[in-house]
Structure 1
């Protein structure tokens, strides 16, 4: 569907590779998946042993704090995207130093080599979209947590309720931690480009 492709165009950032072979343990995939996955596994293990779950999902819990931070970051990401896309600098229109950033386009046999401007625009476009989706994810999770608990109690036999609720909560924390981990690592990568990545040729 063409409208979905347009609305979620920033997700093409995840399709960008730094080498033609696209090996899993090389370059960008470390930032996109492996480091966030490590953060998610570690966070899930820690929270598994936390008995006071209101400290996580409560109105004054960790999710509420992250929700407030994401609100601020969304504005920063959009402002950074606007600045990078319009800033007049010849360095931005050159390729990345080292391994080139390659984006596979559906109607082309060979991937397109991105300039620094294009790569960072995809990066901050992706961060802007993900921060909005994360905000919605947290809001919906907080709003429906009690309803989901009641639905589980209605559908699941009483002797299994505690196990199912803990399993659903743990899975939710893992997904949430994976999203936040990806957002954190990608933000740090974006800050690298804003502080030094653009000027590496001149240094």
Structure 2
């Protein structure tokens, strides 16, 4: 059974801090990009998003009559714990060495009371397994979430994928087959 996952990053929040599980709204004023994106996606594919408002609202904006699946909290961004809604300078003051390891050696390193790359990857991958089946599934999620799945698809270590750009309202397409994976567009802005 082969399923193509059309990963969409939610609209921008304009936050200048670490935003993981905080429920900040998305700026969806770029209606031209939303129109192009909606037109580019497969017509009858179901749409699912994380349960955070920035993803939910973006999914609703591009659904355009496509079936809307219930929101899934397993598709949330990385949980930044004590670093949530703090800027890099604030984090550096309290957890300088740890924050450098979080970015330089992603994988098992987590923010205090947060989760690591691999914990996020496992959570998201579990959600993906339940979504396999239809030919196409549209998922509206977050930067880190999309990167975990792209790293798996490309067989790259977290440190090797972290610099990959994933813009707001961009598309990354990953097809999972019974024994193979194919990566299409990455960070595509139709």
Normalised-by-shorter TM-score class: under 0.3
Point out the structure with the larger helix share.
1
Which has the greater radius of gyration? 1
Q: TM-score normalised to the size of structure 2?
A: 0.27
Point out the structure with the larger strand share.
2
